Amino acid sequence: MAEIEWPWQYSFPPFFTLQPHADTRAKQIAAWKSLVLEYYRITKQAVVDVREIHTNPLFNNTSINRKLPSEAVLVILEELGKSGNASPLDKTKQRWLVYWHTLEEWGDIIYNWAQESGFTDSVCTFYELTHGEDTTEQEFYGLDTEVLIRSLKTLEVARKVELISFDDNQGVKFF
């Protein structure tokens, strides 16, 4: 796993408390959004469980003894949702998927790879896309399966792919 380069704010104790002043709060939330997306991109993770955030180094800076409260994490996740970079996995909004690219962007990245690699009019399993030899150098290598499925569904709506199931496998046919 790559090393995280924490921004200066991460060592600034007030960063871990939502600020009351509107302009300051807007800048703070923007900084948190960037940090969350960068962290999940570098660690290749996708799921945030709000109930477990205090075990996550992203929201818990032990060197300054500060934790971001779960209410603040929810505010940030809601803001990420507005920009298409997160969506709740449950009705209580305790579990979220985080996308460092929007689903449409992921779909475009995968489809462009399929076209450039000669995979149009062929089928790839989800495993081949996220763990296969042909994709080791691709940004979507190791991508969470749920994020993959949701991004491929954006391509299915655009009639660029068809999602298929066969013999306990799931895959996609590129057109």
What string of pLDDT tens digits covers the 175 residues of the chain?
568 899 999 999 999 999 999 999 999 999 999 999 999 999 999 999 999 999 999 999 999 999 999 999 999 999 999 999 999 999 999 999 999 999 999 999 999 999 999 999 999 999 999 999 999 999 999 999 999 999 999 999 999 999 998 888 899 999 9
Q: For residue 78, give the amino acid letter.
A: E
Give the position of tokens 């600020």.
Answer: 19
Question: How far is the C-alpha of 108 from the C-alpha of 151, rounded, in Å?
Answer: 9
Burial 145-165 (b: 16+ CB within 10 A, else e): eebbebbbebbbeeebbeeee
In terms of phi and psi (left: phi > 0; alpha: psi -120 to 50; beta: otherwise), the region of 3 is beta
* Per-residue confidence (pLDDT) for residue 114, from 0 to 100: 96
Q: Measure CA 89 to chain center.
A: 13
Domains and their CATH numbers in the chain: 8-98 (1.10.10.570), 103-174 (1.10.10.10)
- pTM (2 d.p.): 0.91
pLDDT given at position 166 = 81
* C-alpha gyration radius of the chain: 18
Predicted local confidence at residue 2, as pLDDT:
63
What pLDDT is recorded for position 169?
Answer: 85
> Nearest-CA neighbor of 138 among 172, 114, 168, 171?
114
What pLDDT is recorded for position 168? 83
